[in-house]
Amino acid sequence: MTQPTVTLEIERDLHFMARCLYPWLKYMLTSWPILVKFIEDYTPILGYKVVKWIRASIGFKCNSDDASKGNSGPSSGAFFCIRNVEGNFVYAKVKRLEENNNLREKISAIKMGLKFCIAKELLHVTLETDSLIVKKMIDGEWEVPWSVSVEIRKIRHLMKEREIVIEHIFKKGNKVANFFS
């Protein structure tokens, strides 16, 4: 293999690597020195989002979380807390669960909070969970695994015809639930 052929192969490989690292760029330079200069000078545009808990504008907020170390084990549990429009605690509960996985625990925490809100006839409830997976399963956006399909159907049935919505909250915004769980 000649030196120009090796150089061409290296430039081609670097071009493909750059296309993988920066797929959003419309065009990619092919000349080795220009490509190296571009990569050295490249500064990505960073975004940020402030994450904090925001109290309910009307009604109540129910934050839930699972309490487990790892994916399953004897230290697993579920937690929820209810707060009013002022952000004051109305009720909080932690329940130890049988040996489970994180998904079942998060679903159990939501179901516990939901049942409490219904039993106490709380109106305008916003359920907040840090599990986007569970939220999307309850909303019907994602397929539900058979192992939790009964629980998800129960939650949907409990929410039906009530002023209850479920929202995703980032883990950092769900600090109270994380602290107690």
Q: Which CATH architecture does the domain made up of 60-180 adopt?
A: 2-Layer Sandwich (3.30)
- pLDDT on residue 2: 86
Q: How many CB atoms lie within 10 A of CB 155?
A: 22
- pLDDT on residue 111: 94
* pTM as predicted: 0.69
- pLDDT on residue 52: 80
Q: How many CB atoms lie within 10 A of CB 113?
A: 29
Residues lower than pLDDT 50 in the chain: none
**Angle value at C-alpha 144, between 135 and 137, nearest 5 degrees:** 15
Distance between CA atoms of 89 and 63, rounded to whole angstroms?
A: 11
- pLDDT on residue 98: 77
Tokens of 146: 């058979």
Q: Where are the domains of the chain?
A: 3-41, 60-180
159 Cβ contact partners less than 8 Å away, ≥ 6 residues apart: 114, 138, 166
